[in-house]
């Protein structure tokens, strides 16, 4: 094969889009180290920092999402879309990719749409059980569509779908400390059941209110303890609460957990939002979970993600509106029921796709090589 492959990866906006994109890039580089990879993101979004930190170049487009509440603001958005398409065309013409990958998020729309129009083969990766608007539009001309849930032919042409799962951090498995050591690192007792509560950076408000509203119940637990990540946005508010109230000894509180592998290793049960990335990690680790979908996401896709697991008895589900009343009692009842924990763990682990990044990378490489061969004829 003559010459290194050149591949564009586009998308971002949230960690749930950026992390899979970087994982796919890393898997391609592991297989073919001389591959040239260029990311295309949205100006001002977190990918513009995260991607260079991972060692890859990135170009930014002035793209943003449509405002569904104030339609007049979308006049400006349309101009940004047109400018982004022009810039994407220039980027593709200069870089001359042999394949383009879209992981969802604002930038993947104009980038892949222009690539498709220029005859570049495209692959889209849909992380959720309910397809996003951008991916549904791109799917008609995409060559491959990698998905993580059954039943995605509701949204995409069946013949293009490949079940790969979502890429996850392999370090969560490879670098996991023993449970006892992990529990002690949080200042807790290894002999007790441990519940981990993670709500993300901005999406933690409801979960935080659940904890603060149930401090007496937490204090009453002699055999259950809690690791609570509040999110940095709420740190000052939580600190002020505990200035006036006593923090239970069986409750470890932090605004951010840098080493999630250790936190997962310590946990007998996890309470989490239902983002695609979080669910994929829970599947890989076989962690019994209660999912509380965020109500503030497009098309309510987190509820659909959660229910896809509930239908297979692979997780429990509490609606955001009910969480303040029912979440903590459910968690305590479940984490002290060894048989229920074992059943949830067994079923969620059956949904794991540990080789997702490698499988997607193989598809991208196959598309790029096919294009390269055709171009050399």
Residue 215: pLDDT over 70: yes
On average, the pLDDT of the chain sits at 92
Domains of the chain: 6-168+354-376 (3.40.50.2000), 171-349 (3.40.50.2000)
Residue 1: pLDDT over 60: no
Cβ atoms < 10 Å from Cβ of 173 = 16
Q: Do 208 and 233 touch, CB atoms closer than 8 A?
A: no
Model confidence over 277-317: pLDDT tens digits?
Answer: 899 999 999 999 999 999 888 778 899 999 999 999 999 99
DSSP string, 187-252: T--TTSEEEEEE--SSTTHHHHHHHHHTHHHHHT-SSEEEEEE--GGGHHHHHHHHHHSPPPTTEE
* Rounded percentage of the chain residues whose pLDDT exceeds 90: 75
Tokens for 160, please give them.
């293009």
Residue 202: pLDDT over 70: no
Nearest in space to 256 (alpha carbons), one of 242, 235, 285: 235
d(CA 214, CA 246): 13
Model confidence over 84-109: pLDDT tens digits?
Answer: 999 999 999 999 999 999 998 888 99
Q: What is the mean pLDDT of residues 25-47?
A: 94
Instruction: Grade residue 212 by pLDDT with cuts at 50, 70 and 90.
Output: very high
Q: Do 123 and 367 touch, CB atoms closer than 8 A?
A: yes
Q: Do 43 and 73 touch, CB atoms closer than 8 A?
A: no
pLDDT of residue 65: 65
Q: What is the mean pLDDT of residues 144-171?
A: 94
Residue 236: half-sphere exposure toward Cβ, Cα within 13 Å: 1
Instruction: Grade residue 271 by pLDDT with cuts at 50, 70 and 90.
Output: very high
Q: Do 163 and 147 touch, CB atoms closer than 8 A?
A: yes
pLDDT of residue 75: 74
Q: What is the mean pLDDT of residues 17-29?
A: 92
pLDDT of residue 201: 63
Question: Residue 263: which residues within 8 A CB-CB, separation 6 or more?
Answer: 182, 186, 196, 198, 227, 229, 257
Model confidence over 333-360: pLDDT tens digits?
Answer: 999 999 999 999 999 999 999 999 999 9
pLDDT of residue 196: 98
Q: Do 219 and 226 touch, CB atoms closer than 8 A?
A: no
DSSP string, 353-373: -TTHHHHHHHHHHHHHHHHHH
Dihedral sign, CA of 91, 97, 99, 103?
Answer: negative
* Rounded percentage of the chain residues whose pLDDT exceeds 70: 95
Q: Do 344 and 316 touch, CB atoms closer than 8 A?
A: yes
Angle between helices 205-213 and 235-244 (to 10 degrees): 10
Element containing residue 16 per DSSP (H, E): helix 15-31
Nearest in space to 119 (alpha carbons), one of 145, 90, 141: 141
């Amino acid at each position: 094969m003559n010459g290194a492959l050149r591949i564009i990866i586009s998308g971002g906006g949230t960690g749930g889009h950026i992390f899979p994109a970087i994982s796919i890039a890393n898997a391609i580089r592991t297989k073919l180290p001389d591959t040239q990879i260029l990311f295309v993101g949205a100006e001002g979004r977190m990918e513009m920092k995260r991607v260079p930190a991972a060692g890859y170049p990135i170009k930014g487009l002035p793209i943003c999402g449509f405002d569904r509440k104030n339609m007049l603001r979308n006049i400006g958005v349309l101009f940004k879309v047109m400018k982004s398409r022009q810039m994407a065309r220039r980027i593709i013409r200069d870089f001359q990719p042999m394949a383009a990958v879209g992981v969802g998020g604002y930038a993947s729309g104009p980038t892949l749409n222009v690539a498709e129009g220029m005859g570049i083969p495209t692959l889209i990766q849909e992380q959720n059980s309910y397809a996003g608007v951008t991916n549904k539009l791109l799917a008609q001309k995409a060559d491959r569509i990698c998905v993580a849930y059954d039943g995605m032919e509701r949204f995409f042409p069946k013949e293009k779908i490949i079940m790969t799962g979502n890429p996850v951090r392999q370090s969560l498995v490879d670098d996991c400390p023993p449970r006892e050591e992990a529990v002690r690192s949080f200042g807790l007792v290894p002999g007790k059941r441990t519940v981990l509560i993670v709500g993300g950076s901005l999406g933690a408000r409801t979960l935080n209110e659940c904890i603060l509203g149930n401090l007496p119940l937490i204090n009453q637990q002699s055999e259950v303890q809690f690791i609570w990540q509040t999110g940095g946005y709420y740190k000052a508010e939580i600190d002020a609460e505990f200035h006036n109230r006593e923090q239970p000894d069986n409750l470890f509180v932090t605004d951010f957990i840098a080493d999630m592998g250790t936190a997962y290793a310590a946990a007998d049960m996890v309470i989490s939002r239902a983002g695609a990335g979080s669910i994929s990690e829970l599947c890989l680790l076989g962690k019994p979970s209660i999912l509380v979908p965020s109500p503030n996401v497009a098309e309510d896709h987190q509820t659909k993600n959660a229910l896809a697991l509930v239908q297979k008895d692979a997780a429990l589900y509490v609606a955001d509106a009910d969480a303040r009343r029912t979440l903590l009692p459910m968690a305590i009842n479940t984490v002290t029921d060894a048989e229920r924990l074992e059943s949830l763990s067994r079923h969620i682990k059956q949904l794991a796709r540990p080789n997702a990044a490698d499988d997607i990378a193989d598809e991208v490489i196959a598309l790029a090589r096919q294009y390269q061969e055709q171009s050399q004829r």
